Amino acid sequence: TDRKKLHTAPVGQVFRLRPFHVLVATGGGYAGYKKYEDYKLEQLEKRGIEVPVKLASEWEVALYKSVPTRLLSRAWGRLNQVELPTWLRKPVYSLYIWTFGVNMKEAAVEDLHHYRNLSEFFRRKLKPQARPVCCLHSVISPSDGKILNFGQVKNCEVEQVKGVTYSLESFLGPRICTEELHFSQAPPSNSFQQQLVTKEGNELYHCVIYLAPGDYHCFHSPTDWRVSHRRHFPGSLMSVNPGVARWIKELFCHNERVVLTGDWKHGFFSLTAVGATNVGSIRIYFDQDLHTNSPRYSKGSYNDFSFISNNNKEGIPMRKGEHLGEFNLGSTIVLIFEAPKDFRFHLKAGQKIRFGEALGSL
């Protein structure tokens, strides 16, 4: 009777697991495990060992998508805007340079103290002579990066990496008004791929370029063309590194992306900027109405914007090599375009490429 009374709270009040916390912990742990698996696959590839394709199951994709990557990417974006003290800038940027192999000798401003925050450092401009634009070929690389895949589009399927495809129609979305893009007046029974081809005898081609975190983050116009339309797909922000692209079918259709469509001298032309983890921000310089990774947009939808108006019948003309946009961090550029059958790529899968270098020509 003389013992002191010990008051305890119910276990549920002390430690209460909520579904959101379980999803974050489980999904985050699994994502970390997959990162480690991707690293092992990259090491095997470097040794020349061919890695068999192993696609993720539906539950694995659902688990990965449960990680709040959009929220985390918005938080990362705000962190990037925080101004760093002058004394801290060189150590922070030097660590990033060492980790991702950044070549600061190409930067227009090499002094690390010049960049007030991480965002400015990511979006650093290059010296004019650092990326000469090839004049001999009709299509150049719009960015620095690694060539994941390229070739002809077949059976309305596009390869994101060797052996893993995605639907052309799911990626670009439904057809846009023929008056804007001059799509072929093909009967509705024809395939989506055939409807994009405007000239008889032409084929549809594609090229996928992966931008690593250490690459130059701006992208440019790959050819002379005019942009008629922009379609923004809010979506997930899963990693788009080659390991994940090999694992998740239709990864680019799941992720947030901005599709620019128009035409060049040979017909249909499109450039798509695909978002990724910590890359919620995709900026198109001439499109002030575009706002990516915004909570006001829900997944599974898309919104369109036309650059054709009563006052502007031609859309947005772009010259080869002209500044087009930028990512907040590394991501992916997908080109899908129409060209004659004798168009040839001057590439090898897996090769490193820099902005301004030739992709292909007639």
* Active-site amino acid positions: 144, 220, 331
Token couple for 170: 């799911």
DSSP 176: P
First and final C-alpha spacing in the chain: 97
Q: How far, in Å, CA of 82 to CA of 121, rounded? A: 12
For 104, counting Cβ atoms within 10 Å of its Cβ (0-12 exposed, 13-18 middle, 19+ buried), the class is middle
The number of residues making up the chain comes to 362
Amino acid at 148: L
- What are the angstrom distances between the C-alpha of 4 and each of 8, 10, 11? 13, 19, 21
Residue 177 per-residue DSSP state:
P
Alpha-carbon torsion (294, 298, 302, 307), positive or negative: negative
C-beta separation of 235 from 255 below 8 A: yes
53: left (phi over 0), alpha (psi -120 to 50) or beta: beta
Cα 331 off chain centre by: 4
HSE on the CB side for 294, CA within 13 Å?
A: 13
